[in-house]
C-alpha cells in the first residue's frame, strides 16, 4: 500500500520584521496583543496541512482557541480583521471561505520547490503564484516524458477544500421552484440545475454595512432565501440602519437572517431632552461627538451622566465606551 503523500511543510521561515508589518500592527491595535499569537498559530496550521491555504470554519476557530487560550469569539474577530486589512486575501475568502495570501503561497512554493508530489487547486491560487505554477507545468510538458505528464495531471486535479482529496463527480438534482432554472444541451449529459438569484449576496453584504461573521455560511443562507424575501430584506435594511445607526448595537448579519429580522417592526427611538433643551441619543457615539461643538459636547456628556453612564478609557486615555458603574 502506497504511503500517503504529505502535502504540507515540516517547518517554514518566520520574518524577523513580522511585528513591523503594518497589517499586523493594525490587527493588534484593533484586537489586542494576543492577535500576534493567533496569527502565528494560523500560519502554522496553514503550512502544516494544505501548505498554502486553510478552510476557515468553526473547527478551525475552536482549534486555534484551544491552543492559544483565546476565546473563540476573539479568534473570529482577529481573523475577520485580518481579512479586512488584507493580511489574508479577501476575494478568495469571500468566494471559497479559505485563508491564504500571496506571501503564504510564495513561501510554500519556495519550501516545496524540490518536491514533485505537491498538489495545487488552481481556484485557490493568487494570480502571481498561479502563473509561476503554470510555468512549472509547461516545463514538465516539454520533456515529453509519460511519467512527467502523470505528475502534471496531479497538479491540475481539483482538490476538495475540506479534505484535500480529489473532488468526486457531482450528480445534479433537477428541481422546480422560483429560484431555479434548468439548463440543458443537446449532448447525452444529464440536465444541470442553475440557481437563479435575483439579488446577489454582495448587494446585501455591502448594504448592511456590518461585515462580521463567516461569509461562506452567510452566502449559503442568502442563496437559500426566496426571491421575495431577498427583495423585502433590501427594502428593510435602509430603514433598520436608520433606526440603529451604531454598528455595535445592530444585529450581526447572521442573526439578522436567522431571526428573519426583516419582518420585524421598525421602532424609532424618541430623543431625550436634556436641561438645555437639545436632543441627544441615550448612548455614546464617537461619530456623533465629532458633529458637536464644545458647548453641545459638554451638554451631551452631562446627558449621558444623567443616565448613569460614565466614560471608559484605554491605556492611552482615549474614550472607548460609556457604561454604567
| Residue listed under C-alpha cell 428593510 | 236
Is residue 132 within a helix (H) or strand (E), and if so which, with residue range? helix 127-141
Instruction: Give every CB contact of residue 303 below 8 A, 6+ residues apart in sequence.
Output: 272, 274, 280
| Residue listed under C-alpha cell 486615555 | 317
CA distances from 186 to 175, 190, 194, 283 (A): 20, 10, 17, 63
Contact 117, 154 (CB under 8 A): yes
| Residue listed under C-alpha cell 479586512 | 84
| Residue listed under C-alpha cell 502534471 | 152
Residue 186 is predicted with a pLDDT of 47
Is residue 207 within a helix (H) or strand (E), and if so which, with residue range? helix 201-208
Residue 270 is predicted with a pLDDT of 53
How would you classify the pairing of strands 319-324 and 309-313? Answer: antiparallel
Contact 62, 50 (CB under 8 A): no
DSSP secondary structure letter of residue 266: P
CA distances from 77 to 33, 62, 72, 301 (A): 13, 13, 9, 30
List the domain boundaries for the chain.
18-156, 201-263, 272-324
Contact 319, 313 (CB under 8 A): yes
Instruction: Give every CB contact of residue 150 below 8 A, 6+ residues apart in sequence.
Output: none
What does the pLDDT profile of the chain (325 residues) look like in tens digits? 556 667 888 888 888 888 999 999 999 998 999 999 999 999 999 998 888 999 888 788 889 999 999 998 899 899 999 999 999 998 898 888 899 999 999 989 888 888 888 888 888 998 766 665 555 444 444 444 444 444 444 444 444 444 444 444 444 343 444 454 444 444 444 444 445 678 889 899 999 988 888 888 888 889 889 888 999 999 999 989 888 888 888 889 998 999 899 998 887 655 545 444 557 888 888 888 888 888 888 888 888 888 888 888 887 778 888 888 7
Instruction: Report how far residue 118's alpha carbon sits from residue 196's, in angstroms, rounded to the nearest whole number.
Output: 37
Q: What is the CA radius of gyration of the chain?
A: 25
Cβ neighbourhood burial of 57 (10 Å; 0-12, 13-18, 19+): middle
Residue 149 is predicted with a pLDDT of 42
Contact 311, 319 (CB under 8 A): yes
Residue 309 is predicted with a pLDDT of 87
Amino acid at each position: 500500500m502506497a504511503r500517503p503523500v504529505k502535502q504540507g511543510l515540516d517547518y517554514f521561515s518566520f520574518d524577523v520584521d513580522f511585528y513591523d508589518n503594518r497589517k499586523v500592527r493594525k490587527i493588534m491595535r484593533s484586537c489586542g496583543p494576543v492577535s500576534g499569537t493567533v496569527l502565528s498559530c494560523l500560519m502554522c496550521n496553514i503550512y502544516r496541512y494544505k501548505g498554502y491555504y486553510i478552510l476557515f470554519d468553526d473547527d478551525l476557530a475552536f482549534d486555534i482557541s484551544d491552543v492559544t487560550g483565546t476565546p473563540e469569539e476573539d479568534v473570529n474577530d482577529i481573523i475577520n480583521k485580518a481579512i479586512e486589512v488584507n493580511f489574508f486575501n479577501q476575494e478568495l475568502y469571500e468566494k471559497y471561505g479559505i485563508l491564504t495570501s500571496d506571501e503564504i503561497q510564495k513561501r510554500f512554493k519556495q519550501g516545496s520547490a524540490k518536491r514533485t508530489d505537491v498538489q495545487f487547486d488552481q481556484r485557490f491560487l493568487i494570480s502571481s503564484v498561479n502563473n509561476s505554477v503554470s510555468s512549472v507545468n509547461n516545463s514538465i510538458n516539454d520533456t515529453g516524458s509519460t511519467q512527467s505528464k502523470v505528475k502534471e495531471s496531479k497538479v491540475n486535479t481539483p482538490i476538495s477544500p475540506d479534505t484535500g482529496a480529489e473532488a468526486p463527480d457531482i450528480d445534479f438534482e433537477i428541481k422546480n421552484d422560483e429560484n431555479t432554472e434548468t439548463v440543458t444541451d443537446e449532448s447525452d449529459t444529464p440536465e444541470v440545475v442553475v440557481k437563479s438569484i435575483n439579488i446577489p449576496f454582495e448587494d446585501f453584504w455591502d448594504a448592511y454595512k456590518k461585515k462580521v461573521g463567516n461569509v461562506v455560511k452567510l452566502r449559503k443562507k442568502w442563496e437559500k432565501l426566496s426571491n421575495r424575501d431577498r427583495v423585502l430584506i433590501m427594502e428593510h435594511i435602509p430603514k433598520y440602519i436608520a433606526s440603529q445607526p451604531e454598528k455595535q448595537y445592530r444585529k450581526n448579519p447572521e442573526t439578522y437572517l436567522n431571526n428573519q429580522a426583516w419582518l420585524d417592526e421598525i421602532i424609532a427611538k424618541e430623543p431625550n431632552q436634556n436641561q438645555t433643551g437639545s436632543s441627544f441619543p441615550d448612548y455614546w457615539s464617537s461619530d456623533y461627538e465629532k458633529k458637536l461643538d464644545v458647548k453641545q459636547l459638554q451638554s451631551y456628556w452631562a446627558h449621558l451622566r444623567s443616565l448613569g453612564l460614565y466614560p471608559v478609557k484605554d491605556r492611552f486615555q482615549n474614550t472607548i465606551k460609556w457604561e454604567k458603574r
